[in-house]
Amino acid sequence: MGEIRKPSMKTWAAIFLIIFIAIGVAMLPQLNEYGKESVISATENEFMYEKSIHILVMLLMGFGFLMVFVRKYGYTSITATYLAVAVSLPLYMLVRPYLWGSAADISITNISMLLFAEFAAASLLIAIGGPLGRVNTSQYLIIGSLFTPLYAVNEWLLFSGAVIPAGAFLDTAGSVMIHAFGAYFALGMIIMLTSKKEREIAVETSKRSNEFALLGSAALWIFWPSFCSALVSVEKIPLVAINTILALCGATLATYAFSIFIRGKIEVSDIANASLAGGVAIGATVANVTPGWSMLIGLIAGAISVIGYTIIQPRLQKATGRVDTCGVHNLHGMPGIFGGLIALGLVASPMWQIAGVTISVVLALIMGLIVGFIASRLGRKEIPYDDKEEFILPG
Q: Which of residues 146-205 bind a copy of itself (CB under 8 A)?
A: 204-205
Residue whose C-alpha is closest to residue 154's, from 138, 176, 129, 131: 176
232 touches a copy of itself by CB under 8 A? no
Exactly one of 7, 39, 56, 153 binds a copy of itself (CB under 8 A); that residue is 56
Number of chain positions touching a copy of itself (CB under 8 A): 115
Give CA 142 to chain center in angstroms: 16
Beta carbon of residue 184, minimum distance to a copy of itself (angstroms, whole number)? 27
- Ordered DSSP codes for 296-313: HHHHHHHHHHHHIIIIIH
Q: Are 220 and 69 in contact (CB under 8 A)?
A: no
| Shortest distance (Å) from residue 308 CB to a copy of itself | 17
Q: Assess contact for 184 and 365: CB atoms under 8 A.
A: yes
Q: How far apart are the C-alpha atoms of 41 and 264, rounded to whole Å?
A: 54
Backbone angles phi, psi at 282, to 5 degrees: -75, -15
Taking CB under 8 A as the criterion, the residue among 5, 196, 207, 315 binding a copy of itself is 207
For residues 91 and 27, what is the distance between their CA atoms, to the nearest angstrom? Answer: 9
Stretch that binds a copy of itself, among 50-58, 171-179, 309-317, 352-360 (CB under 8 A): 50-58
Choices 79-87, 190-198, 351-359, 363-371; region in contact with a copy of itself by CB under 8 A: 79-87
Q: Answer yes or no whether residue 307 interacts with a copy of itself by CB under 8 A.
A: no
Pick the binder of a copy of itself from 6, 7, 9, 153 (CB under 8 A). Answer: 9
Does 313 engage in binding with a copy of itself (CB under 8 A)? no
Stretch that binds a copy of itself, among 74-82, 314-322, 327-335, 369-377 (CB under 8 A): 74-82
Q: By CB under 8 A, is residue 383 in contact with a copy of itself?
A: no
Measured between alpha carbons, how far is residue 162 from residues 101, 154, 170 in Å? 11, 12, 16
Binding mask 106-145 for a copy of itself (x = CB under 8 A): --xxxx-xx----------------------x--------
Cβ–Cβ < 8 Å for 159, 166: yes
Q: Compute the radius of gyration of the chain from its Cα atoms.
A: 20
- By CB under 8 A, the residues from 335 to 364 that bind a copy of itself are none
| Residue 373 binds to a copy of itself (criterion: CB under 8 A) | no
Which segment (85-93, 145-153, 167-175, 337-345) binds a copy of itself by CB under 8 A? 85-93
Which residue of 124, 219, 230, 281 would you call a contact of a copy of itself, by CB under 8 A? 219
Q: According to the binding rule CB under 8 A, does residue 93 interact with a copy of itself?
A: yes
Q: What is the DSSP string of 110-154?
A: STHHHHHHHHHHHHHHHHHTTTTTSS-HHHHHHHHHHHHHHHHHH
